[in-house]
Amino acid sequence: MRVSFTVAVAGASGYAGGEVLRLLLNHPEARIGALTAGASAGSRLGEHHPHLLPLAERMLEPTDPDVLAGHDVVVLALPHGASGEVSAALEAAGSSALVLDCGADHRLASAADWERFYGTPHAGAWPYGLPELIRAETGDRQREELRTASRVAVPGCNVTAVTLALQPGVATGVVDPGDAVAVLAVGYSGAGRSLKPHLLAAEAAGSLAPYAVAGSHRHVPEIEQNLRVAGAATVRLSFTPVLAPVSRGILATVTAPLTADVEPAAVRDAWQTVYGGPEGGEPFVRLLPEGTWPTTAMVTGSNVAAVQVAVDERAGRVVALCALDNLGKGTAGAAVQSLNLALGLPETTGLPTVGVAP
């Protein structure tokens, strides 16, 4: 059954908005409608995304709820704190559109966590757009909630990498998430397009730079929330992201203690059970063959997360790794994957599993 839909993209001039459009241009059922922006309104899309040739001459309109209304789907690729106001205006206008928020406004269930890390009033939680997330309470995956969703909060890119790396161990009880450590190498597109000195090529090229150190990163409560959903009674996470001089990609290395009395040989079996091995039960998560380590080059341009797990027996810790494209599976791909589920389409529609190289 064909289910064609019209989609408006707010924040189309940014990296996330551009990647959403790239994927939708290859979606057989998507019809791209209004494209909006803030300061870039009035300019051509091609000035910001010259690679999107079919849309290059389209003009960016102001991000006004009246412009977005009337579409079947609205994707909000806006700065944190902006989408809550736009989504509220759409609801007040009686819009029946499926709304997907690529920002953080609706990810956190805890208002206290939101206010602590973002410093503004909480806009409320929406169904969470990570279909592979294990829901220990119900025994199913998050995709089941997304099948009936009319609002979707797309996860943070770092959050997706850490969650997919570690959740099999949490759900099966082979790791103790009360002492988890995550160190991530993150491409510069994850910082957005804003003009800041530390994002200039002269500063970034050839340099690794940590940021949001010592528990201050806004993705920390979201990761902890996910691991609790996956079955953790207690989560304590040390999270350190490092900007790496690449345009896109995340490589997350996550370690946690091996649970007492669990044999190291049982660890890979846990990941295999959850993700289904190299050919996959999960269409976009690949557990790599033993001894093969994830790289960002494996997944660039795709909606795939490449995962590996090993045991450091000397340290008594499980080491889980995940590589993904922060703009693909980390943002826009997750939005389209969730969109497909909410519209009753095959989950994989329009989403690439093959990356680009070199």
Which residue's entry shows tokens 């997750």? 334
Please report the beta strands in the chain, taking only residues with DSSP state E, as ranges in sequence order: 5-10, 30-37, 61-62, 73-76, 98-101, 134-135, 140-141, 151-153, 180-186, 209-210, 237-243, 250-257, 285-287, 305-312, 317-324
* Phi, psi torsion values for 304, nearest 5 degrees: -100, 140
- Residue 322 designated active-site: no
- Are 193 and 357 in contact by the 8 Å Cβ rule? The answer is no
Beta bridge partners of 243: 186, 209
Paired tokens of 170: 């949490």
The catalytic position among 9, 67, 157, 345 is 157
Question: Is 76:101 a contact under the CB 8 Å cutoff?
Answer: yes
CB of 230 within 8 A of CB of 134? yes
> What contacts 281, CB < 8 A, 6 or more positions away?
275
Tokens describing residue 143: 């995709």
**Residues 184, 241 contacting (CB under 8 angstroms):** yes
Active-site positions read 157
